Structure 1
Amino acid sequence: MKRSKIKYLLQSDLVDNQVNAKGWVRTKREGKNVTFIALNDGSTIKNIQIVVDMEKLPEATIKDINTGACISVNGVLVKSQGKGQSVELIAEHIEILGLADPEVYPLQPKKHSLEFLREIAHLRPRTNTISAIMRIRHNLAFAIHKFFNDKGFFYMHTPIVTGSDAEGAGEMFRVSTLDPKTPPLNEDGSVNYKEDFFGKETNLTVSGQLEAEVGAMSLGEVYTFGPTFRAENSNTSRHLAEFWMIEPEMAFYDLNDNMDLAEEFVKSIISYILDNCMDDLEFLDKRAADEEKNKPQNERNELGLIERMKFVVENEFERLEYTEAIQVLLNSKPHKKKKFKFPVEWGIDLQSEHERYLVEKHYKKPVILTNYPKDIKAFYMKQNPDGKTVGAMDILFPGIGEIIGGSQREENLEKLKTRMEEMDVPESELWWYLELRKFGTAPHSGFGLGFERMMLFVTGMGNIRDVIPFPRTPQNAEF
């Protein structure tokens, strides 16, 4: 008999029909003559109840069915007599596909900490929390591709191995085939990378943006969606060494066009999750509410998970310049009463507490900040006539702060070369990037969205390691 996914059985009209379900046992509850098995196959957060007549099936089979076991069940789908489910499956035949020894199976039916689950990342998707997150992750990725495809953008695959550092951060993972014990050396004792695989020093990329600009200067509107890497030795709840980035680049877009697209984009993908993942969202919303109760009063989110998502979708984003935002912060009660942990003055890179104040307390809507001081932004951003600021834009969300960073790109060759020299970015590494400004330059813009950062927002999770299947962090590459 062909398998039916549990998601469809629970909402199907196959009542009184013979069906087959396969999945993993969540719980088993034994009565006098009947055993109840909660079965889940990952297609939905909901389980289907398997009703087993003890007299009709071998006792040995029922005995071997424990939490974690994988089974195949043939039987009749009937309307449920109990509460909590509309239908249940009356078992006529059960085949055990894989045993799970209850003495050693680590996911017993009890509450497990997220820290513990990270230690068993190969099994944690079987939990309600992580399975809900993984289904949302799939839907969010699909929504992103759908948005850009529907807008006429082209998906561009940019290199993972690169010879340049787009951000100028210098914290990159080296890619090399040289013998680490006896690498070839130059006369001055430095490593001779000319003998390496690529004939030069190469690293894992921190961004696909610069290459995406190549696409924008020929195809018009492109986007990247791929893995990026930062060798930052950070163990905070917001950092990963390997994460995914979405980076659209658009020819003929100025800063305002860029902001319009970014606002439309985030509203679209969040709406998609609200429309297609409500069962998982409701579970995570309740989970997040329980977590909030354990936080100090001043650190709690005023809005629930689903409320925060609707807050973004239903509000027009407030747009203001960085200079104006600094003035708002300087006049704020938290600043005057010295409640902010970090100082406020023109020229600072805003901290999460500042960003959240603007969104949650002052404007009570998502905020787009523009025209940041050039000294805290990257070399490629368009320089404003005032000589102090650049045409940057950041989108700030409730509960999380900055979620998108972007800018109009500097299309003037001489200005770009001057800025690269000021920031010690070698022209020799990016000669091809400069040539885009030599041959048919055009105004263009783009932005970047950290996929896992958006996952934190749409799942309500507090640690970025819990929204990616196999987190890569300092001292951790186990799976």
Structure 2
Amino acid sequence: MMNPDVPAEPSPEAGSLDAMPSLRKRTPLVDLMGRDFGESYVDRDVLVAGWIRTIRVQGGGGLAFVEVSDGTTSQSLQVICERKRNPEEFQNLVEESHTGASVCLYGRIVPSIGSRQKVEMQARRMQVLGPADQQTYPLTKKKHTLEYLREFVTLRARSRTFSAVARIRNALMYSTHQFFQSRNFICCQSPVLTSIDCEGAGEMFQVTTLLPNARNCAASGDSAPQPPTPPQLDYQADFFKRPVYLTVSGQLSLECYACSLSNVYSFGPTFRAEKSKTTRHLAEFWMLEPEIAFADLDENIAVATDYIKYVFQYVLQHCQADLEFMEKLEQDRLKEAAKGASSQQRKQTAWNQGRALRERLQHNVDSEFARVTYTQAINLLFEADVKFEEPVHWGIDIPSEMERYLCEVVFKRPVVITDYPKDIKAFYMRLNDDQKTVAAMDILVPGIGELIGGSQREERVQHLRQRLLDAQLDPNTYAWYLDLRKYGTVPHSGFGLGFERLVRYVTALENIKDVCMFPRAWGMPIDG
């Protein structure tokens, strides 16, 4: 049956040589293979462009099987090239094309006799756009470890794993905007440069122009000049005439717009100068930060849980092939990890309760999230028949190990913990009536622990001023923030989600550096 959406191409005359169509007329593989694995394109002439994954020359050198991918989908297209159809282009193809080379191929889509694909192309025109040196190209046909691929950030997106991660990341980003836009949230851009520490942790990158020779040193390859010691810093000579940093959160700025536009969100890069080489830390990462005016903690939790379920459902519907690939990758990794592992180690890797990746995501969509207060959570941990690395007591900042225990062992589903001790939370969180806890919430998921952190913001000016003093922060520095409470204050709430942590959970990868397109972390060299 002819597909009405695909324009018909005239059949070539016998013995004629088709002109190579313009690259503008190429068909992305996501369109060609997406709806029905290419069956609607059978007997159609199409132009495809992409990179060679494999090429096999057979039939005494007269036949070549080319597997080409353009990155728009997890599926590749097998292209059959015959010397007799176009001897000159065929010879050039087999001589210059290896794994990694870019090609443009034009021909007819026909049913495939192989079992791996439903259709294939019989090429009439073959053009090598860019060869790849077989001796030096790092992504060979063999399977590479993630550690190896991390060394080739500029090329790793051509691998099956990282191309799948990129497409899943794109779907999560698209569905994030779709979720908030459909609920009348206004997207606002918070500043990257700031003079204040939103979280009060002090782990910030400082921005300065007090190193006048830094650019010249970078150009020449010399080491950067040593910065002046703090007593010698003359900020009046600096660009902003005061200490300025890369932001750790856009929340405080975003509250200004929430208290004027009601529902807003920002989605952009943030920075933490945390000297950690764990699989959970990045120096640069993306943050989603919604702020909701006239909302208490309960509404905040409702929006956050609805968001999680929405984006999980979206990727389940739109990223089936990529999720299936990541699912198999995880299963292979778990089987390998189980070899020779102790019973305790096997128990630690069994957090998924026997569910495969897609089943876990659907389980989260279908589950009602458990909800407990911090005090209740501490009691559950105290009663646990498990020896944690840290002692359990009221007042601790619950570590990831304990968060995962609550999700994976106690509740076996996502958990919302509320009402944390004020001394372990940020100054802007609303003080509860008990004067000991704040209206904070964390959403925990199995395998990761904390995915979302949020709170009802302190809208009472005197309470907020005192919280700043308690945190040893100067209220004068936050005068603009206090003004929101002086002029038409309203109850409002919000939360933050580290986007790479979300991608890591959905892709089931262990190292957060593998879900960031260009990871920046302590001790990692930056090329470009």
User: TM-score of the superposition, structure 1-length normalised?
Assistant: 0.96
User: Which secondary structure state, in structure 2, belongs to the residue aligned with residue 55 of structure 1?
Assistant: helix
Residue pairs, 1:23-422, within 5 angstroms:
23-32=50-59, 33-58=62-87, 59-179=91-211, 189-295=231-337, 296-300=345-349, 301-302=351-352, 303-334=355-386, 338=387, 340-422=388-470
TM-superposed CA distance for 1:353, in Å, is 1.7
Letter in 1 for 2:385: K
Q: 1:459 to 1:183 in 2, by over 3 A?
A: closer
Q: Structure 1: how far apart are the matches of 2:364 and 2:502?
A: 12
Cα separation, 2, equivalents of 1:115 and 1:332 = 36
Instruction: Kindly provide the CA deviation profile for residues 13-43 of structure 1, in whole angstroms up to 9, marking residues without a partner as x.
Output: 1211111110000001222142211100001
Q: 1:7: which partner in 2?
A: 30
Aligned residue identity for 2:29 = I
CA distances 1:47-93 after superposition (whole Å, capped 9, x unpaired): 10001123333324322211111000011110111111111000111
User: Counterpart of 2:340?
Assistant: none
Task: Name the CA distance, whole Å, in 2 between partners of 1:43 and 1:366.
Answer: 32
Deviations along 1:180-229, one digit per CA (max 9) or x if unpaired, are 6899999x943121221112110000000000110110000100101000
C-alpha contact (below 8 Å) 2:288/2:499 kept by paired residues: yes
In 1, the alpha carbon distance for the partners of 2:68 and 2:92 equals 19
Partner of 1:232, secondary structure, is coil
- Three-state SS of the structure 2 residue aligned to 1:42 is coil
Counterparts of 2:141 and 2:263, CA distance in 1 = 49
Q: Would the aligned equivalents of 2:92 and 2:128 in 1 still touch at CA under 8 Å?
A: no
Tell me if the contact between 1:395 and 1:402 (Cα under 8 Å) persists in the aligned partners. Answer: yes
Moved more, 274-283 or 173-182: 173-182
- Name which of structure 1's ranges 60-69 and 456-465 shifts more when overlaid on structure 2: 60-69
Asked if 2 retains the 8 angstrom alpha-carbon contact of 1:228 and 1:243, the reply is yes
Instruction: State the distance in 1 between where 2:160 and 2:360 align.
Output: 22
Matched residue of 2:232: which SS? coil
1:183, 1:217 → 2: CA distance? 43
How high is the sequence identity, in percent, across the aligned residues?
Answer: 47
Residue pair 1:308, 1:398 contacting (<8 A) in 2 also = no
Q: Which moved more, 1:422-431 or 1:41-50?
A: 422-431
**In 2, Cα distance between equivalents of 1:430 and 1:183:** 32
| One-letter code aligned to 2:259 | M
Report the CA distance between 1:475 and its aligned residue: 2.6
Distance 2:138 2:97 in 1: 16
- Deviation track 1:300-336 (CA, whole Å, cap 9, x = no partner) reads 13332212211211101111101011111111221xx
Work out the CA distance in 2 between the residues paired with 1:262 and 1:185. Answer: 44
Residues 1:18 and 2:45 aligned together: yes
1:472 to partner: Cα distance: 0.5
Equivalent residues, number? 474
2: CA distance, partners of 1:108 / 1:38:
14
Query: Any idea what the Cα deviations from partners look like across 1:259-285, whole Å, max 9, x if unmatched?
Result: 111110111111111111111000000
Counterpart CA distance in 2 for 1:348 and 1:84 is 54
Q: After TM superposition, give the deviation of residue 441 of structure 1 in Å.
A: 0.7
Q: Matched residues in 2 for 1:214 and 1:3: separation?
A: 47
| Structure 1: runs of 5+ lacking an equivalent | none
Cα distance in structure 1, aligned partners of 2:237 and 2:499:
36
Secondary structure at the residue paired with 2:322?
A: helix
TM-score using structure 2 length: 0.87
3-state SS, counterpart of residue 440 of structure 1:
coil
Unaligned runs of 5+ in 2: 1-20, 214-224, 338-344
- Structure 1 residue matching 2:121: 3-state secondary structure: strand
Q: Distance in 1 between matches of 2:403 and 2:86?
A: 61
CA RMSD, 1 decimal: 1.7
Native 8 Å contact 1:185 1:192 kept in 2? no
**Secondary structure, in 3 states, of the residue corresponding to 2:336?**
coil
